[in-house]
Structure 1
């Protein structure tokens, strides 16, 4: 599988689009705002404040979350510059994703973003904001040397650059399962370690010394990486444990970890304690929709488009049964890092 060619969220603004089915990702971004704000404030407190500041959002996708991240980061920096008495810088914002991403929807939304940024700037004295689309894999260089001061990535780095070698011939599981041979676990871990190391090295060359980076990705609390949820197709994803993340960061050596925390979120981001059976059914439908928005392009490439309605109808039934019987949560990890000087 050529991941660069087929990995992208469902585009547009239709019923199955990522733009209309990304409330989970939006909630994760909201939950991590305090750590993001701390990293921004530390950046502005410990480095010489530049007149032109480079920001990259890696794996930006499309829809409301993309531009809310940009708006939040710019307003945080404006606030900190204002506290120091310095005029707000000009902003160079780079929105990155793979070439199949729906950049057109993002670009059509930019006039509304610029309007909001003007409204959020009471003094009307902030520097201009320039926004660029940067298609390409972040497992390699994307930006000029020392051009970035702040890097943000949410829910992207658990995607690998490729399905690990040697697992294509293993039948019976879509991913790592309890019945998978040890070689499968080893192959996925080694692929993650290679990819994450390349990512860190590339970013270190693109960032200024003292620059900050915030990464949020799906994770797991246990050391057991097996999945019981899917079957018959090898996914190019890996959910690392916090210790695996720390190991790669330490081994690569370009960044200091300022903070590393795990947190959980319900599969259904709208779920509340005490929800009845009808709420669980509605929740299963929400989860099936956002999973379809994320996974459908990969599944279509492997199985064809004709099966998709049946696949996600069955998936919704499985989710309804599962969510009615047990507490269903995702484990996430957020890492705040500083580029070593």
Structure 2
């Protein structure tokens, strides 16, 4: 599986699209807002740039894509009014893999800019779509002031080598051999270290990065914190194997290119790479069914109205993320059956135990 070709969220605005199934991601962005406000405030006050360059890495598409950009600009505009400064011009770079639905983003930019001018009367805002993997250089040297990424860096650049014996699992699980666990961790180390090295070249001295991973609280990589959601999908696939609907070797050869790190693992790579100082490192949590966390009055769009039960909502969320990978490996014919079974398994588990995603957020400053 060539990750750069198949790792993309479901595009468009259909029932299984990422645009209509990204409430968990929106909730996480909302939870981490104070950290970004702190970062952009300290950055602007220390630099007072006439032109402020912001990059969102792994921007995806849908209602969340421009949420953080709007929030950062709003914070800077308030600072400008308080300090009696002229608004900077804003250069916004939206990065994701080439398969991302950039067209969906571009269609919304004019209305976004119009709303920005009407509500904030801020400086001009220029957008660029930047396709490419962030596990490599994406921007010119010393061209960025602020880098944001949320729920993207848990995705690896490739499926780790040496995981062929990860039988009946599609990610790390309680039955995964220690060699498989090590292979996943080693790949995370290589990828995140390279990410840091590249961003160190692209950020100005004193530039900030706010990064949020889908992660885990505990040190055990096979704990439920980071693996359970995929273990249950593997259960659905293995049930289909037992009924002869798909072949056992198909499941055994399918592995998700993801690693959900602990706070200490994230911190260790930052310290080893050496280009950044750590300002904050925090863990937050959100329910699998993010509708449990929201008051109806908080919704900004009817697209996130509750449909069906919690199992349905979580299955749709995961489908928006995983369907392209599943189709690439198993073909389209099994998709409806997989997610029907997955929904039932999720509903059963969620009725019996509290199920949560854990998020690791780190705020970094580029050393001088």
Instruction: Tell me which interval the TM-score lies in, with the shorter structure as reference length.
Output: over 0.9
Higher normalized helix content (fraction of residues)? 2
Distance between the aligned counterparts of 1:224 and 1:170, measured in 2?
17
| Structure 1 counterpart of 2:193 | 197
| Structure 2 counterpart of 1:276 | none
How do residues 317-328 of structure 1 correspond to structure 2 at under 5 angstroms? 317-328=344-355
Task: Provide the secondary structure at the position in 2 that maps to 1:271.
Answer: helix
Distance between the aligned counterparts of 1:93 and 1:272, measured in 2?
30
Distance between the aligned counterparts of 2:81 and 2:207, measured in 1?
20
Going from structure 1 to structure 2, the CA distance change for 1:116 and 1:168 (only over 3 Å counts) comes to: farther
Distance between the aligned counterparts of 1:81 and 1:214, measured in 2?
22
Task: Provide the secondary structure at the position in 2 that maps to 1:270.
Answer: helix
Distance between the aligned counterparts of 1:30 and 1:181, measured in 2?
37
CA contact 2:287–2:293 (8 Å) conserved in 1: no
Task: Provide the secondary structure at the position in 2 that maps to 1:120.
Answer: helix
Indicate the larger mover: 163-172 or 318-327.
Answer: 163-172
**How many angstroms does 1:104 deviate by?**
0.3
Indicate the larger mover: 256-265 or 279-288.
Answer: 279-288
Task: Provide the secondary structure at the position in 1 that maps to 2:169.
Answer: coil
CA contact 1:210–1:340 (8 Å) conserved in 2: yes
**How many angstroms does 1:170 deviate by?**
3.5
Distance between the aligned counterparts of 2:87 and 2:307, measured in 1?
47
Alignment deviations for residues 46-74 of structure 1 (CA, whole Å, 9 cap, x no partner): 22x11111000000000010011211111
Distance between the aligned counterparts of 1:237 and 1:61, measured in 2?
17
Indicate the larger mover: 112-121 or 310-319.
Answer: 112-121
Going from structure 1 to structure 2, the CA distance change for 1:272 and 1:27 (only over 3 Å counts) comes to: closer
How do residues 23-34 of structure 1 correspond to structure 2 at under 5 angstroms? 23-34=23-34
Moved beyond 4 Å, runs of 4+: none
How do residues 173-192 of structure 1 correspond to structure 2 at under 5 angstroms? 173-192=169-188
CA contact 1:44–1:81 (8 Å) conserved in 2: no
CA contact 2:165–2:180 (8 Å) conserved in 1: no
CA contact 2:307–2:313 (8 Å) conserved in 1: no
Distance between the aligned counterparts of 2:68 and 2:334, measured in 1?
35
Distance between the aligned counterparts of 2:326 and 2:182, measured in 1?
24
| Structure 1 counterpart of 2:40 | 40
* Match for residue 271 of structure 1 among 276, 292, 317: 292
CA RMSD of superposed structures (Å): 1.5
**How many angstroms does 1:238 deviate by?**
0.3
**How many angstroms does 1:35 deviate by?**
0.8
| Structure 2 counterpart of 1:140 | 136
| Structure 1 counterpart of 2:113 | 114
TM-score (norm 1): 0.95
**How many angstroms does 1:81 deviate by?**
2.4
CA contact 1:280–1:324 (8 Å) conserved in 2: no
The gaps in structure 2 that reach 5 residues or longer are 235-250, 295-305
| Structure 2 counterpart of 1:236 | 257
TM-score (norm 2): 0.88
Alignment deviations for residues 88-140 of structure 1 (CA, whole Å, 9 cap, x no partner): 1101100000000000000011111011101222xx3x321000000000000
How do residues 64-83 of structure 1 correspond to structure 2 at under 5 angstroms? 64-83=63-82
Distance between the aligned counterparts of 1:118 and 1:280, measured in 2?
35
How do residues 180-329 of structure 1 correspond to structure 2 at under 5 angstroms? 180-226=176-222, 227-228=227-228, 229=231, 230-231=233-234, 232=251, 233-271=254-292, 282-329=309-356
Distance between the aligned counterparts of 2:281 and 2:163, measured in 1?
31
Distance between the aligned counterparts of 1:271 and 1:68, measured in 2?
21
**How many angstroms does 1:306 deviate by?**
0.9
